[in-house]
Amino acid sequence: MAFFDTLFKDIGVDLGTANSLVYVKNRGIVINEPSIAAVNQKTNQILAVGEEARRMLGRTPSHISVIRPLVNGVISDFEMAQELLRQFLRRLSRGSMMSYRRGILAIPNSLTEVERKSVEDVALNAGCSKVYLIESPVAAALGANLPIELPTASLIIDIGGGTTDIAVISMGGTVTSKTLKVAGDKFNEDITRFLRDEFRLAIGEPTAEFAKIAVGSAVPLDGRLEVPVRGRDISSGLPREVVVKNNQIRQAITKSLDTIVESVRDVIESAPPELTGDMLKQGIYICGGGALLRGIDELIERETGVATRVVEEPLTCVARGLGYVVDGFDRHRELLDNPLKPLVINL
């Protein structure tokens, strides 16, 4: 059996809008790179994927396109998404005869059947023999070691790059959930717009991301943080540098943060009363890249009155949950989100 395990591997894939993570059975997370591909439009050749492609963002000539194949958690460019995953899987099997028996992919709650089918097809065409889907919040709750199989409420907020998934999970299933197209990328857009309006400075997405990480916060901070931001002066068209403070970045993203908080309230209000009571004891857990924003847990706790915590290593929480399913497939099989088949009654 061990010999076959070396030839046929099971993998878990968190194919996210911002980053893609791949978990290989008995090996752990082996790929953690941006979901970006660079392609030469003249030759239709893939030049780079992942971190190498991210470094090209906003710095390429006209014939080279740097593409994000996923937008708001949905595959927007099927061929590029397929090639991105294929390139990642090739790195793992380089110099070996290894093939992929099962692929377990995390998906947002809100995907339609057509969008789910496209995720399955991407994984099948990239080299997986069989594909299973699991909802991202369920995988995140599993990765955070929450008691999702017990009859108690586990409220998880997964703030990713393109979407924020909020879900109440009990007895291995989602009781109530909401998916927003407000997450890390929207924060970057807010910062870009703010700097254009307030400072007349045009910046790209990487610079907005840098400013958000450097000084961004969801609540006022005790100290004052500031960061120099370089871009193009809209009036003169020449390079210019401005110093941006943490309160200005907070002002830029306040509206998006309010949308997330309001949606958390909606999910709590729509949960059954017994589970709502459980939340006071269990608390709220935040994962994903957005969980790293300073004070995000404090903001949600203040607005909901429920103790809120950021999980350990929030960036890899979903991938760790996928790892539990990959390593214990038979034990966690009921968590997989495969479409229900019609009930057949023999008379």
* β 173-180/8-15 pair status: unpaired
Mean pLDDT, rounded, of the chain: 89
Supply the pLDDT for residue 217. Answer: 94
Supply the pLDDT for residue 93. Answer: 73
- 83 and 97 housed in the same domain: yes
How far is the CA of 106 from the CAs of 9, 119, 239, 315, 336, in angstroms?
Answer: 18, 9, 42, 14, 9
- 133 and 202 housed in the same domain: no
Q: How far apart are CA 234 and CA 6, in angstroms?
A: 57
Domain boundary among 206, 222, 252: 252
- 171 and 296 housed in the same domain: yes
Domain count of the fold of the chain:
3
Q: Is residue 244 part of a domain?
A: yes
- 305 and 159 housed in the same domain: yes
Q: How far apart are CA 54 and CA 278, in angstroms?
A: 42
The H or E element containing residue 137 is helix 136-143
Q: For 238-259, b where at least 16 C-beta lie within 10 A, e where not — what string?
A: eebebebebebbbebbeebbee
Q: Is residue 191 part of a domain?
A: yes
Residue with structure tokens 């809120």?
308
Q: Is residue 16 part of a domain?
A: yes
- 133 and 51 housed in the same domain: yes
Helix (H, G, I), strand (E, B) or coil at 131: strand
Provide mean pLDDT across the span 20-42. Answer: 92
- 51 and 155 housed in the same domain: no
Percent of the chain surpassing pLDDT 70: 93
Do the beta carbons of residue 159 and residue 290 sit within 8 Å? yes
Is residue 327 packed enough to be buried (19+ CB in 10 Å), middle (13-18) or exposed (0-12)?
Answer: middle
Task: Count the alpha carbons within 13 Å of 61 in the hemisphere toward its beta carbon.
Answer: 4
Beta pairing partners, 192: none
Q: Which domain holds residue 195?
A: 184-252
DSSP 167-207: EEEETTEEEEEEEES-SHHHHHHHHHHHHHHHH-EE--HHH
Across 4-18, 228-242, 270-284, least confident range: 4-18
- 132 and 7 housed in the same domain: yes
- 116 and 226 housed in the same domain: no
- 31 and 6 housed in the same domain: yes
- 131 and 85 housed in the same domain: yes
Which CATH number fits the domain that encloses residue 154?
3.30.420.40
Supply the pLDDT for residue 73. Answer: 84
Q: How far apart are CA 260 and CA 158, in angstroms?
A: 11
- 21 and 120 housed in the same domain: yes
Do the beta carbons of residue 290 and residue 184 sit within 8 Å? yes
Q: Is residue 62 part of a domain?
A: yes
Q: Is residue 28 part of a domain?
A: yes
Question: Which residue, among 72, 55, 73, has the nearest Cα to 64 in the 3D structure?
Answer: 55
Q: pLDDT band for position 132 (50/70/90)?
A: very high
Q: pLDDT band for position 112 (50/70/90)?
A: confident
- 17 and 131 housed in the same domain: yes
